[in-house]
Structure 1
Amino acid sequence: MYENITRHGVAHQKRLYGSYGDKIIDEYDLLERKGKTKAEIVAGMTQKIISVGPRNVSRHAGDPSALNVVDIALSSIGLARKQQFENAVKADSRVSKFLTPPKDPAYHLEIPQP
């Protein structure tokens, strides 16, 4: 989350997360404005995630025996196979949620577990 905020900015990340994620992003923003180091910011963000509940912040932090969540970089697919990959994911009934760039920085797949 830290890396994505520094790469894409606070406003961009707030469009991706809900109210709980926004609290973590706000913590980043507060600590960054105070001139804290990366380690201090990450530690502060971690404590905020723990306090609000990891699963509330991101589905990536949920129970993998219930839901697998994976992000796949577009660069690992390649532009030549982009449409083929997207069509295959959309056709797979096991995938309950599929976000694509540019809405999400990566392909985001959620797969409920039996």
Structure 2
Amino acid sequence: MALIVSVLMQLPYKFNSTLYLSIVVGIISIILVGNYFTRRSKSINLPPSPPKLPFIGNLHQLGTLPHRSFKELFHKHGPLMFLQLGQIPTLVISSTIVAKEIIKKP
């Protein structure tokens, strides 16, 4: 948003204030419409997952020793978890029994 404001401030003074207002309203409406469509697609039945942050997902929850972080998450959320590692959705399986059930051929 700061980049947009700095670009707008560098425009010549000949531009009308309604132009600035229409640009800002257009950008905000694009952001809101994008958020609306991403929220609608979240109705998929996913396994439990810890809370995530925008853009980095659950990467902030993995410390310097990721195997210990995964063990703590396993105890909180169970053997099957859904993590968002950056922009990559990841299914984490922490149990051999659950892994065998998923890999079974019908």
TM-score of the superposed pair, with normalisation by structure 1: 0.31
Q: Please say which structure displays the higher CA radius of gyration.
A: 2
Which structure is higher in helix share? 1
TM-score of the superposed pair, with normalisation by structure 2: 0.32
